[in-house]
Structure 1
């Protein structure tokens, strides 16, 4: 629907990460989503895997990489680990991440990338919902 392998909508609106199509990167505190000491891309086997500023895509083949389920909600949402959260910034980050990983943008990709997209999207939704509500944010902080 969006035209091509990488999707025309993200390219046109300028939210695609740097290195993929020359757009600006998202800020992200976590260095990797691979979850191993020497990450490799599942698709091309290239060295370095998803160690990039955005942490979601292989820098060589642009394949979506598996999410790191141990990643903290605050680092995923690029927020300071604190009870006080800027909800406008949180919402903006949520929208940025969903534009990158939402399953609707992976309809023409491999089944593996579709599965990773669903997992990433679920993690982003969970992090957003948890950090948005003060009670769940507080409980998350003390857990």
Structure 2
């Protein structure tokens, strides 16, 4: 009985959110899952090995609500780029589009006010990161700051 329920939930979570094409969770790597000081989810309070990690995932793995953006995360890690002056602009554009499909406020119009606000903050941060890293001058200034 338990194995069948676990398999069914894995199928459901793997497809979430299936109602919006192109949206999927960004998962954290194994090394970051062992952190004990992980922040708690604002909605369900989930933490620990399965709890949300700011900077690694955007959604709580327990209740699947959008988490607040990590203000300490740099633009290079957000956009999945190496921290250097030379940036693959095609990869940067693809990552920008991927993140906007994930956190754009249009996808959160029927959600709670908190999630709407977090979505706006995430989208703003993604826009700022993209614009900064796309232009060579602003990228260079960001690198030296």
Using the alignment, how far apart are the partners of 1:90 and 1:27 within structure 2? Answer: 20
Which residue does 2:143 correspond to in 1?
141
1:59–1:87 CA distance, 2 compared to 1 (3 A): same
Greater CA radius of gyration, 1 or 2? 2
**TM-score normalized by the length of structure 1:** 0.77
* 1:90 maps onto 2:92 in alignment: yes
1:27–1:138 CA distance, 2 compared to 1 (3 A): farther
**TM-score normalized by the length of structure 2:** 0.76
Using the alignment, how far apart are the partners of 1:26 and 1:114 within structure 2? Answer: 21
SS at match of 1:61: coil
SS at match of 2:20: helix
Cα RMSD for the two superposed structures: 2.6
The CA deviation at 1:50 is 1.6
Using the alignment, how far apart are the partners of 1:84 and 1:63 within structure 2? Answer: 35
Using the alignment, how far apart are the partners of 1:141 and 1:27 within structure 2? Answer: 25
* 1:50 maps onto 2:61 in alignment: no
Which ranges in structure 1 are unaligned for 5 or more consecutive residues? 18-24
The CA deviation at 1:124 is 0.3
Using the alignment, how far apart are the partners of 1:91 and 1:83 within structure 2? Answer: 16
Larger RCO, structure (CA 8 Å, separation 6 or more):
1
SS at match of 1:138: helix
Report which of the two has the higher share of helix: 2
Using the alignment, how far apart are the partners of 1:61 and 1:8 within structure 2? Answer: 16
1:119–1:69 CA distance, 2 compared to 1 (3 A): same
Which residue does 2:72 correspond to in 1?
70
Aligned length: 124
4+ runs of 1 displaced by more than 4 Å?
A: 25-28
Spell out the pairing of 1:118-137 with structure 2 (5 A cutoff): 118-137=120-139
Spell out the pairing of 1:108-127 with structure 2 (5 A cutoff): 108-127=110-129
Which residue does 1:8 correspond to in 2?
19
